[in-house]
Amino acid sequence: MPDTISEIKRRRTFAIISHPDAGKTTLTEKLLLFGGAIHVAGAVKSNKIRKTATSDWMEIEKQRGISVATSVMGFDYEDYKINILDTPGHQDFAEDTYRTLTAADSVIIVVDIAKGVEVQTRKLMEVCRMRKTPVIVFVNKMDRDGKDPFDLLDELERELKIQVRPLSWPIDQGSAFKGVYNIYQEKLDLYTPSKQHVTESIEFQDLNNPELEAHIGDPLAKKLRTDLELIAGVYPELNVESYLEGNVAPVFFGSALNNFGVKELLDCFVRIAPSPRPVQAEERLVYPEKDAFSGFIFKIHANMDPNHRSCIAFLKICSGKFERNQYYKHVRFDKMLRFSSPTAFMAQKKETIDEAFAGDIVGLPDTGNFKIGDTLTMGEELHFKGLPHFSPEMFKYIENADPMKSKQLAKGIDQLMDEGVAQLFTHQFNGKKIIGTVGQLQFEVIQYRLAHEYGAQCNWDAISLYKACWIESDSPEELENFKRRKFQYMAFDKEGRDVFLADSAYVLQMAQQDFKGIRFHFNSEF
């Protein structure tokens, strides 16, 4: 079936990650502009007519100006089908981003020229390294003053622990920014600040041509020639194989807000980035073009359409071809399901599709059938790995503020926890519900969404906890003994598994010393 194979080969599914404010959402939007998926870029900071970035559609995101949930967008560019996953940069939503990286075949990291590599970027890069995900770096905001480009390259290598290879080079920066020389395509791209239009580029293969001076002036022409000689001497030629193995990161420079350097990035990206790659399941390695349909749920989103209280489960297709109305096996339930209205996304706008291929992300209407990590196949027993919940760092009791609305509250908590926004623990001692998150902002988002999407009011009550750990043991007696002794510290997670709530590092250490037969886990995959 060459049809399926050629469709899979033209897929490029990638995530854009960065620290908050490095310009990730703006870059996403400019890429969509090139794909003809949108026709005018909404300035991310709302202007008088309040155009908001296409990928930030949740009400709370528009108010805050940050991305809270991962958005999925697909479009065609040249002969390629591109799927972008725009992730939240804010560290309080890191868990959503970690899970999204399991659905991406490659990654573009956005770095701010002035700030360089920040904490969050380093953490996300660790996940990419762990999974050997190929990475391209886009250095943004060249129209502002920032670090020296050579210093930044050193910082990228040091902080991200990866070799780099510039494929474009900036000509000055800040208010004197003239443009970039595109090393990959041997072109000179001159800069005119404009948020809507694409810059002109001039074919320029011979840098010794005196015409260079006519375009950028003597001193800059001289500097550009020296810089490029230095790059050729210090950085080896780009080896695409070693990029695909995750050992080298190509680097591009530009300004996403002014739509500069973005097309160069995209043109190189579609040519060198990987099409869908084999995925490791517990049972075997699954090949995208050889195997029958399989996929996993990496995200669940409640209320994408405020008029219909429904959830959408995001399915990453790992192999083969997905067809509408076809029966597929839900591995965890061991039953066959079919989907009459699978959708593809352009942020919030979605359209029903008849087929999709490995690499694509499909939205499936969910009435409570799915959990993050669930697998769908043609009938084979497959389990895809690598979608963990991490031990939360902040905890609060959640209380119902309006006794008349307890049903709405319960439903809201249930759906938001299925989305993976935070984790829910039920205290075995007093039956109280505890929400665990990675950061303070998540509590605000939960409270806001409960009120606006479910009409339920909640209050937060302080609880002093250090860590939540999942526990297991080969000896049922030892497990029972531990649970009896630590009764006031025990809770159930959403799956009904035992979780030990340690209120200090000391308590946890003592428990680990006293109960040698108990294994303590800090993420839910064990």
d(CA 45, CA 63): 10
Query: CA-to-CA distance for 242 and 77, rounded, in angstroms?
Result: 25
Amino acid at 414: D
Q: What is the pTM of this model?
A: 0.75
Q: Are 26 and 53 in contact (CB under 8 A)?
A: yes
Q: Is 170 helix (H, G, I), strand (E, B) or coil?
A: strand
Element of type H or E holding 122: helix 119-131
How close are the terminal C-alpha atoms of the chain, in Å?
39
Predicted confidence at residue 511, as pLDDT, reads 92
Cα–Cα nearest to 386, from 525, 188, 206: 525
Q: What share of the chain is helix, strand, coil (3-state, %, to 5)?
A: 30, 30, 40
H or E element at residue 244: helix 240-244
pLDDT of residue 214: 73
Which neighbouring-strand residues pair with 116? 112
DSSP letters, 264-294, are HHHHHHHHHS--S--EEBSSSEEPTTTSPPE
Nearest to 337 by CA among 301, 293, 281, 300: 293
Strands 106-112 and 11-18 come out as: parallel
Cβ(11)–Cβ(359) under 8 Å?
yes
Structural domains of the chain, ranges and CATH numbers in brackets:
14-71+88-272 (3.40.50.300), 279-377 (3.40.50.300), 394-521 (3.30.70.3280)
pLDDT attached to residue 41: 43
**Gyration radius (Cα) of the chain, Å:** 25
User: 3-class DSSP state for residue 80?
Assistant: strand
CB-side neighbour CA atoms (13 Å) of 195: 10
Half-sphere exposure of 76 (CA within 13 A, CB side): 3
Do 302 and 348 meet the contact criterion of CB atoms below 8 Å apart? no
Cα gap 75→30, rounded to integer Å: 12
Handedness of CA 417, 420, 422, 424 (dihedral sign): positive
State residue 524's pLDDT score: 67
Show the low-confidence residues of the chain (pLDDT under 70).
Answer: 1-2, 35-71, 86-97, 192-207, 302-310, 345-350, 386-390, 524-526
Residues forming beta bridges with residue 395, ordered by sequence position? 436
On whether the CB atoms of residues 234 and 157 are closer than 8 A, the answer is: no
Instruction: Return the pLDDT at 251.
Output: 94
